[in-house]
A = this chain, B = another copy of it.
Amino acid sequence: MGISSDFPIWDKLTSQQKELIEKSAVKRFAPKGTLLHNGSADCVGLFVIHSGRLRAFIISDEGKEVTLYRLFEHDICLFSASCIMENIQFDVTVEAEKDTELWIIPTNTYKQIVENSAVVANYTNKIMASRFSEVMWLIEQVMWKSFDKRLSAFLLKESDIEQSDSLKITHEVISHHMGTAREVVTRMLRYFQSEGMVHLTRGGILIKDRKKLEKLAEE
């Protein structure tokens, strides 16, 4: 199976563009935990995800992390080619959150196509608008929601992504997603447990009262 079945707007490309991409794209397997893109330090190209999951996040000087968004099957990672996008003045780090198979379209190939194609340029715009929207959601959460609401929204989103009420996730990992201290996460999860919303297990969290969590998240 080639990149044609993974690249979202394949049918809208010209045959010349298709040929160029097919000739230059390489498939890569990234085991869970692989650092695929590290801020402005590299610029390997556009990632197109075949299977698995990527996590895009930012890191503070002190090593604190905040998750910006996740990328799934057929999603495109733009910021791994950010060097060709003028005016991008921030660093995003991207890692494989699960074992991931992805295509890499080299920076030069993509640059050559986007500069001459209104279709590809507008599609790039659409992807950027999507990521922008996720970051705006995050800013609204951080500015205006208390931590209990943010944490309940986070647990519900994780449960939705994993399609399970049983989350295999440590308090430490949650603290990296949310940009807070691990102790704060633990304290709030214990409170959630005392309220019957979750049950804490070794290395995991079981969602017990989804409705109560939803009500808290939406307040």
Contact = CB atoms under 8 A, between A and B. Distances in A.
Contacts of A142: 139, 142-143
Interface stretch (A100-108, A109-117, A167-175, A188-196): A109-117
A94 to B, nearest CB: 15
Question: Which 8 interchain pairs have the tightest Cβ spacing?
Answer: A121-B121, A90-B136, A89-B133, A87-B129, A87-B130, A60-B144, A118-B118, A88-B129
Interface of A: 58, 60-62, 64, 66, 85-90, 114-118, 120-122, 124-133, 135-140, 142-144, 179
Nearest to A122: B121
Contact of A133 (B90, B120, B138, B144): B90
A41 to B, nearest CB: 17
A30 to B, nearest CB: 24
Contacts of A86: 126, 129
A64, A137, A140, most chain B CB atoms within 10 A: A140
Given A118-B118, A143-B179, A126 B60 contact: no
A58 B129 contact: no
A122 B114 contact: yes
Contact of A125 (B89, B125, B137, B140): B125
Contacts of A90: 132-133, 136-137, 140
A137 B89 CA distance: 9
A138 B139 contact: yes
